[in-house]
Structure 1
């Protein structure tokens, strides 16, 4: 039985119908990926299901009391000032109590009775585990300063904050629009486990193929206003989609042959027609529509010349970078070779962007030497996106670099012709850059990078906001790209397909070189973890056999019995004191003292057992 569905929903955008009389339903426990080319209405359908957009026709039906959590591509934080205001919902009693508890802990002057009343309420509502879950999620997304102004956050930080809040609220349905954007790989893998734990109901749009395969059990394609359902992973979807399109072409060919015959009949018919003739005429127009077949999709064309590359490309010798007392990169040495295809891996903030800024000259190292070859020509696709003035036209942005561009086959084309190859028709070329969608801006940015004919290409998160079809074309281009490639991406599929070496940023300044792609590295790490888990306990220290204890050891053995008894008594007393204390500062002190006594007790007990063998 459906818990969320549409009833004959129709919606248009810019006088164009995205879909009409659409039926889309989710049952409890469904984990569905919604796919389709840019402009088909995927994000609009998510907004309609989340009831943030009202459809032109039809309605959304949902189970009574159903809580829907929606993550948009660009979260809206209007009327909210700080992170604290957003995280703790006013209508959620548990969250408000946890918020009050956190504020009390930070406050030096706390009323002990008020604090005790608050902790009693939290206990009564079983909110302590919930508080721990909240902290786990916030720490995972590196959200620590709750008083920070939301307006000061970057786009990526806002997206992570919105996702963290959705996970904290634990809705009945998770509707997620590009949830992996701005997340590092470790966080994506953690998110996969969270979304597949229990019987969560998930509907998502994502370009990350591994994420789709690991989360979803069903793919639904939105194509020309219709939904096509595929039970299986993304690879299965691609296979069956190709079969469906091939069948559509065959059906269109058959319809076209029949249409030609019917067209001859139509031309020979008199003006006055009977009922049977009218039915045949209606069939003719239906046949005419089917004979057109599937439309050819416009596709980006990537074919640019690569500048000649000399023997010396880029040499790093003991390169380091530090800010104040923090070392970002520590004494890294590497000589780039022809054919290098390197992926950068590591958590957000571990130094990947700093490394890219160092090798491209945007930053100077605080130690070591960077030597760039004379023929090395960088192409740097930056994560922060295209920088352009609000009054700049699309064509002007390209002409600022060059009026003419040489292609791989030696052909020289105009800036306008290149834009057309990148799916920017004339009406778009003369439009303003700030009118472009996020995906179009990314496509334009990629074009600007490639038209400079680089032989050392750096791509920092290229998959963000690019549709899967454009990504597929980019992958094909990069597989044949003869220059040096450095790829920073949370998309594990891209890393596996395009790189054969990793620079792993550990977060403490070290950069580890790993020969292999991300899948190789992950498999190796899992095997190491299994070996560690098999070690049940550390082997006991080997003690040389002797007949009896020395006089000194005998005295130590006797004193240990007394010391152990005293420690056990002290721990019991402290535990009693702890249960009767309401001052949170004193609570912390007592807890730390108990922990120290327990550590001492463990050490003395182990020593006593060792000596007891010879007593």
Structure 2
């Protein structure tokens, strides 16, 4: 693997904090690296050092001659006086960019809903971010550095970006480094994970799922991480193994270690217990939408939508921007009345909404955290246990010192977590979460999900974070074509519907009725042959795994001064690993056909 960039013995210190001490890293051809870590531990700073935007106090960054580096910074802005077209394609003539399939695909994926002639200054912050990302992706870069690229992208946009990055460079070339809290995206595009923590950088092989497995095992063996944190990671691992079917599509021998770790871990949620508790608190009637219609200026948004929300139901809502997700939430919460039809709420229903604006904290921004908690109820029941507000805040990552901090001085992620806590302490029985992942790192997302696992009520979630959506909800619906459509196939089914809609000429805002895309089906004979081949491959992979373990043992016992003998063993090992890699690719291909 050809070396592209190296950073050697990097150290950086601010007046109040040492960020890095003596870090050495390398980036080579074919690397696909995800950077994770707590907010404030230096993920974005590391990326800026790599890009040459920040000079370290000591150490140096070297880039191989001729290597080009492109970066999307969270603070990157686009000249507001330019039109959308000028900002994205620059001075390229229309026939030049329109004739380039790569540029057309980038525009379709990120800017198809934007007015090509509109000034950038007239766009929203999220739209400007997409313009900046499109402008960067159009360029040819050997190394691409992306800092939170999925911000302001919906699930479709995140899926498109993953596909683009996976096909952007020919196999084994180019390099990608990405900072993101989107765990599905990390698994989709990254083959290596760097964890930034405690002034160091620790590498892990694989994407987010593999990183979690290795991290749990590291913590178990070292016995240096507190028990609460370890239990949470094991619970997260249980979700990765037992959750969405797509996450279990791995050769069986690869998940044996995971099975051992989670053998005694209960399911992520006790669905029966939570439903019983929710029914006891809510009764049988929650919120019913019956033949609901909504129109704006005589333009219909919803037509004849009926949805009876049950006690303990945990539902994720999908849809493009403008499809009507926020309007649907307003109908449920009572913030909007339908144009036609009716919305019926149970007598005991108490609805709370976690909004994107943090408006719940505006009135208390000068108060210290402990002062706010002192005004709350003294205990909260979760998972059969009693928690004080301070204990819940600790579960959400607050230290005792931060209890003395005024709300206005909290970080965005801390404010978000405090907002959730205050809502839960009101003990609503219907909770609506509108894009709850904003400003949270992966550890805090896991902590929030853990807290929601024990919440006994009806949960409605709108989020572009596919991992969270699949993690905390048990079913998904799509707002599409003016209707509310159940998705037995989850997010994958939604993406198929959207592709079918676009092929049929449907507008991006989902104004036309969508039909499901028919997946190619296999005949009975083809199914039998595919299953037979899958079983054969799994048996062969198991044998190759055993063979590589034998070779490793032989190499360990071999005379280390016998270079010729060690060389032959190394050749055998590489051949076995290469054959296993080819078989795994074939296994995945067949598995996808069988799932289809």
Pairwise same-fold verdict (TM > 0.5): yes
In the alignment, is residue 138 of structure 1 matched against residue 107 of structure 2? yes
- Aligned residue among 168, 187, 192 for 2:138: 168
Instruction: Find the counterpart in structure 2 of residue 154 from structure 1.
Output: 124
Instruction: Find the counterpart in structure 2 of residue 81 from structure 1.
Output: 80
Q: In 2, Cα distance between the equivalents of 1:175 and 1:398?
A: 42
- Aligned residue among 445, 459, 483 for 1:471: 445
In the alignment, is residue 345 of structure 1 matched against residue 321 of structure 2? no
Q: Deviations over 1:8-62 (max 9, x none)?
A: 2111245221211111211122111112233321111012112222222222211
Q: In 1, Cα distance between the equivalents of 2:301 and 2:414?
A: 34
Q: Deviations over 1:433-481 (max 9, x none)?
A: 3433232222222222222211111112222321222222222333333
Change in 2 beyond 3 A, CA 1:459/1:434 = same
Q: In 2, Cα distance between the equivalents of 1:342 and 1:81?
A: 39
- Aligned residue among 383, 388, 392 for 2:365: 392
Q: In 2, Cα distance between the equivalents of 1:27 and 1:329?
A: 51
* Cα displacement (A) at 1:426: 5.4
- Aligned residue among 448, 455, 460 for 2:434: 460
* Cα displacement (A) at 1:397: 10
Instruction: Find the counterpart in structure 2 of residue 213 from structure 1.
Output: 187
Q: In 1, Cα distance between the equivalents of 2:147 and 2:366?
A: 29
- Aligned residue among 372, 390, 403 for 2:376: 403
Instruction: Find the counterpart in structure 2 of residue 500 from structure 1.
Output: 474
Instruction: Find the counterpart in structure 2 of residue 189 from structure 1.
Output: 159
In the TM superposition, 1:68-147 aligns within 5 A as 68-77=69-78, 80-84=79-83, 87-88=86-87, 95-98=90-93, 127-130=97-100, 133-142=102-111, 143-147=113-117
Change in 2 beyond 3 A, CA 1:156/1:532 = farther
Instruction: Find the counterpart in structure 2 of residue 112 from structure 1.
Output: none
Q: In 2, Cα distance between the equivalents of 1:469 and 1:517?
A: 25
Q: In 1, Cα distance between the equivalents of 2:39 and 2:144?
A: 22
SS in structure 1 at match of 2:305: strand
In the alignment, is residue 530 of structure 1 matched against residue 504 of structure 2? no
* Cα displacement (A) at 1:483: 0.8
Q: Deviations over 1:161-186 (max 9, x none)?
A: 22222212242222112222221222
Instruction: Find the counterpart in structure 1 of residue 214 from structure 2.
Output: 240
Aligned residues: 457
* Cα displacement (A) at 1:513: 2.2
Instruction: Find the counterpart in structure 2 of residue 9 from structure 1.
Output: 10
Q: In 2, Cα distance between the equivalents of 1:68 and 1:49?
A: 9
SS in structure 2 at match of 1:408: strand
Conserved? CA contact 1:381–1:462, under 8 Å: yes
In the superposition, the TM-score normalised over structure 2's length comes to 0.68
Q: In 2, Cα distance between the equivalents of 1:390 and 1:371?
A: 31
Q: In 2, Cα distance between the equivalents of 1:169 and 1:145?
A: 22
Change in 2 beyond 3 A, CA 1:455/1:66 = same
Q: Deviations over 1:206-239 (max 9, x none)?
A: 2222211221111222232232222223222222
Decide which structure has the larger Cα Rg and report it: 1
Q: In 1, Cα distance between the equivalents of 2:215 and 2:398?
A: 27
Instruction: Find the counterpart in structure 2 of residue 49 from structure 1.
Output: 50
Q: Any unmatched runs of 5+ in structure 2?
A: 233-273, 501-515, 524-596
More deviation, 442-451/16-25 = 442-451
Instruction: Find the counterpart in structure 2 of residue 372 from structure 1.
Output: 345
* Cα displacement (A) at 1:419: 4.3
In the superposition, the TM-score normalised over structure 1's length comes to 0.66
Conserved? CA contact 1:82–1:148, under 8 Å: no
Q: In 2, Cα distance between the equivalents of 1:38 and 1:129?
A: 42
Change in 2 beyond 3 A, CA 1:226/1:296 = farther
Q: In 1, Cα distance between the equivalents of 2:364 and 2:309?
A: 40
SS in structure 2 at match of 1:55: coil
* Cα displacement (A) at 1:83: 4.9
Change in 2 beyond 3 A, CA 1:493/1:127 = closer
Q: Deviations over 1:252-279 (max 9, x none)?
A: xxxxxxxxxxxxxxxxxxxxxxxxxxxx
Conserved? CA contact 1:87–1:165, under 8 Å: no
Change in 2 beyond 3 A, CA 1:418/1:493 = closer
Two-structure CA RMSD over aligned residues (Å) = 3.6
SS in structure 2 at match of 1:485: strand
Conserved? CA contact 1:399–1:415, under 8 Å: no
Instruction: Find the counterpart in structure 2 of residue 354 from structure 1.
Output: 327
Q: In 1, Cα distance between the equivalents of 2:145 and 2:467?
A: 23
* Cα displacement (A) at 1:356: 0.6
